[in-house]
Chains A and B, each alone.
Chain A
Amino acid sequence: MKSFAPVLTVVGAIFVIWYGAAVVLNSAWAYDKAKRADVTLSFSEMVTDTWSQEKPLLPAPHQVVKEIYKTTVLKKITSKRSLIWHGWITLSATLLGFAMGTGFGILLAVGIVHSRAMDMSVMPWVIASQTIPILAVAPMIIVVLNAVGISGLLPKAFISMYLSFFPVVVGMVKGLRSPDAMQLDQMRTWSALKPTMFWKLRLPSSMPYLFPSLKIAMAASLVGAIVGELPTGAVAGLGARLLAGSYYGQTIQIWSALISAAVLAAALVALIGLLQNITLKRMGMLR
């Protein structure tokens, strides 16, 4: 309960700044309208107007909330105007990409930890891979995969995987290497073989390192899925909603897609946090 007060304070501050910024940014358009209609606006009339424009520069929070309510609760899930439908499209690509990225990342880490050759050869490429701007690569991946007949979920999942495997590799390499020389010697005195050392010592030792990596990977996966939806011509998904919104100047739609993506990411990361707590508690590592 103690953690609620600071969180709520920050949320409150964000709302105050948001409403204030909406007034400042949208006031020009409000005065412009008034001028053309030949009326003079009082301050309070101006403020009311900036919070209720149809295509504001910055929509006010209640407008976004209303839009989200309209496109989630009031629309059928199967409707192409439902944010839940779009959200699910993005979520499915995110989850698939996250699963692939995590699997690939763990495999790479296992290889890197056990083979010096892999450590020397693969690790620099892993790091180099993340310096490439994904926005530039994403359209190529989509186009190339489309040319060989792969479209829909998988290309987006690949982009998610590309972004999400990196934190997993880095975290797991560190985690699998966390047992100290004494612990490894101890295993040797029991004449344990490498697979035994891995399953009984390295893997359990890496758990506290895995979960923070998974949180970053999950957030990166969502970004990857949204980026992957941009070059597909705005067909479906939260990314498509963002793009369509920007085509038609539907700022409220953009912001509602944006907020939904943020809420989705927060929920997914919180889910991993929960898994982390359960796992570490069962392992007796959480006091």
Chain B
Amino acid sequence: MNKEVIIETKGLDLTFETNDGPVHALKDINLTIEKGDFVSFIGPSGCGKTTLLRVMADLEQPTGGTCTVNGVSPHEARMNRAYGYVFQAAGLYPWRTIGGNIKLPLEIMGYSKVEQEERVSKVLELVELDGFEKKFPWQLSGGMQQRASIARALAFDADILLMDEPFGALDEIVRDHLNEQLLALWARTHKTIGFVTHSIPEAVYLSTKIVVMSPRPGRIADVIESTLPKERPLEIRDTPEFIEIAHRVRDGLHEGHSNG
């Protein structure tokens, strides 16, 4: 199996200069993400998982080491509009309809009006929000708003989807449903996904690769290749295989803590 490398970091280091002195957010991160991977980053708060995702998205600048996205620097990748980024909050503009919000990146990127319309209806269908195009964000529930923001990240042809705890603020039932939908969407679109979470079941359920991180300094404690099949009904969470992977993630988190 020789798959195309999409994101690669070598000896990545990042130190924030703060008023209380330097904070070592990332230390010696070596990681390879291949095409079609679903990679979860899990760890306690302060472990740098969000920072790592932000480095890949060129929202933070590393102070050492290298990071390439699609073989070029994160900055070039950002300029090439190589990825869609989903934040913790849906961040929909209250003065735009759902359709208008999804059109926003398309307008910025200069798609034609006709193509904008086509893409909006296509991605709305993808996240099962068809018929909500003319609604304003406040008319939708939190889960639906987050789906709309995922649709917005899918609207342009980015092969990479970076998601920073997108379902963190939602309740468990909605979360389960969205996780299922996300897997279906991933299977349909063949995107490469980076997904930050602090929920072990969520990470195990979704990922092909789980990156366990530990804090102070933020570093990788373990990388687990999932042996679960691609087809994953929610019930898979009760299988011994699932529980074993979850156990290994928990061990990794625990070890990272006691070492740090």
Interface members, chain B 150-202 (any A CB < 8 Å): 156
A191 interface residue per 8 A CB criterion: yes
Contact of A190 with B95 in the complex, beta carbons under 8 Å: no
Q: Is the beta-carbon distance between A182 and B93 smaller than 8 angstroms? A: no
Whether A190 pairs with B138 at a CB distance below 8 angstroms is: no
The interface residues of chain A lying within 8 Å CB-to-CB of B243 are none
Residue A121 interfacial (CB < 8 Å)? no
A17 at the interface (CB under 8 A from B): no
Query: Looking across the interface, which residue of chain B has its beta carbon closest to that of A196?
Result: B108
Residue of B nearest to A279 (CB): B95
Give residues of chain A (182-201) contacting chain B, Cβ–Cβ below 8 Å.
Answer: 182-183, 185-192, 196, 200-201
Assuming the A-B contacts A284-B97, A285-B94, are A189 and B84 also in contact, with contact meaning beta carbons closer than 8 angstroms in the complex? yes
Interface positions, chain B 83-140, Cβ under 8 Å from A, are 83-85, 87-89, 91, 93-97, 104-105, 107-109, 136, 138
B79 at the A interface (CB under 8 A):
yes
With A182-B91, A189-B85: A200-B104 Cβ-Cβ less than 8 Å: yes
Q: Point out the residue from A188, A190, A204 that lies within 8 Å of B59, measured CB to CB.
A: A188
**Least CB distance, A195 to chain B, in whole angstroms:** 11
| Interface-centre pick from B58, B59, B93 (highest chain A CB count, 10 A) | B93
> What 0/1 readout, one digit per residue, does chain B (64-83) give for beta carbons within 8 Å of chain A?
00000000000000110101
The 0/1 profile, CB within 8 Å of B marked 1, for residues 29-42 of chain A is: 00000000000000
A contact patch SS:
helix
Task: Name the interface size band of chain B.
Answer: 20 to 34
Bound-complex Cα distance A185 to B93 (A):
14
Asked whether A287 is an interface residue with its Cβ less than 8 Å from the other chain, the reply is yes
Asked whether any CB of chain A lies closer than 8 Å to the CB of B221, the reply is no
Partner of A200, one of B58, B85, B88, B108: B108
Q: Which residues of B contact A188 (CB under 8 A)?
A: 58-59, 78
Tell me if A283 is interfacial: C-beta within 8 Å of chain B: yes
Q: Which residue among A185, A187, A188, A287 has the maximum number of chain B CB atoms within 10 Å of its CB?
A: A185
Q: How far is the CA of A187 from the CA of B152 in the complex (A)?
A: 12
- Which residue in A191, A192, A200, A284 is a CB contact (below 8 Å) of B94? A284
Contacting pair B95 A182 (CB below 8 A): no
- B211 contacts partner chain A, Cβ-Cβ < 8 Å: no
Q: Which residues of B contact A (CB under 8 A)?
A: 57-59, 78-79, 81, 83-85, 87-89, 91, 93-97, 104-105, 107-109, 136, 138, 156
* 26 A–B pairs (Cβ distance < 8 Å), ordered by A: A182-B87, A182-B89, A182-B91, A185-B85, A185-B87, A186-B85, A186-B87, A187-B108, A188-B78, A189-B78, A189-B84, A189-B85, A190-B81, A191-B78, A191-B79, A191-B81, A196-B108, A200-B107, A201-B93, A204-B93, A283-B95, A284-B94, A284-B95, A284-B136, A285-B95, A287-B138
